[in-house]
Amino acid sequence: DIVMTQSPDSLAVSLGERATINCKSSQNILYNTNNKNYLAWYQQKPGQPPKLLLYWASIRESGVPDRFSGSGSATDFTLTISNLQAEDVAVYYCQQYYLAPYAFGQGTKLEIK
Amino acid sequence: QITLKESGPTLVKPTQTLTLTCTFSGFSLSNAGVGVGWFRQPPGKTLEWLALIQWDDDKRHSPSLSSRLTVTKDTSKNQVVLIMTNMDPVDTATYYCARALGKIHDQWGQGILVTVSS
């Protein structure tokens, strides 16, 4: 099974600043045939279901603000939240959908400093 | 507008079978590339993928749970059913269904908290 590991487990960032969350997969999740990384990022607020933010590692879902961006390839990925807003307080998860079981990272809790 | 809603029992006893129904609207499971996935999340923990059923009835299950899981679809009713046998207290979690485009789960239900206790 592919294991997804996020860092850090928690993060406190000042309003207006940048938050960076890392995600590492235990195997390459870049499919060479289509040159796509099979990685998604989700945001989850308390009492709510996960919300898809990014897929193919860097494609923003419709309606997601452009302060959310994704980068990386193969085994190492990053979610960057620029100009942090109060409503960005949440737990963030990465997920690989390259190979079943489609595992998630353990989550990163983002708070305001 | 796309909506999904999970329904079923919120309390089951150990060894019982859990049957959850995902009723959706705004999309069709007869369209190529569309599927419905199931996930769960124990309180305070991360998400776990359980199963995925596709428009062509292709099914994937978590290997660690495959012997306990069954997933079926009723395209005419816009429903997907998840059956999990031999429930245990460690299966206590919020269970979610979500629409899948390919394997990208873009729209999620609100979830249903299932507690396993005698």
Give the number of beta-carbon pairs within 8 Å between A and B: 52
Average pLDDT, chain A: 97
Kindly report the number of other CB atoms within 10 A of residue B45's CB atom. 11
- What is residue A18's DSSP assignment? -
Res A71: pLDDT: 98
Q: Do B110 and A49 touch (CB under 8 A)?
A: yes
- Strand A10-13 relative to strand A108-112: parallel, antiparallel, unpaired? parallel
Among B24, B46, B66, most A C-beta atoms within 10 A, so best to mutate, is: B46
Predicted confidence (pLDDT) per residue in B41-92, tens digit: 999 999 999 999 999 999 999 999 999 999 999 999 999 999 999 999 999 9
Residue in A40, A49, A101 closest to B109 by CB: A49
Q: How confident is the model over A41-53, as pLDDT tens digits?
A: 999 999 999 999 9
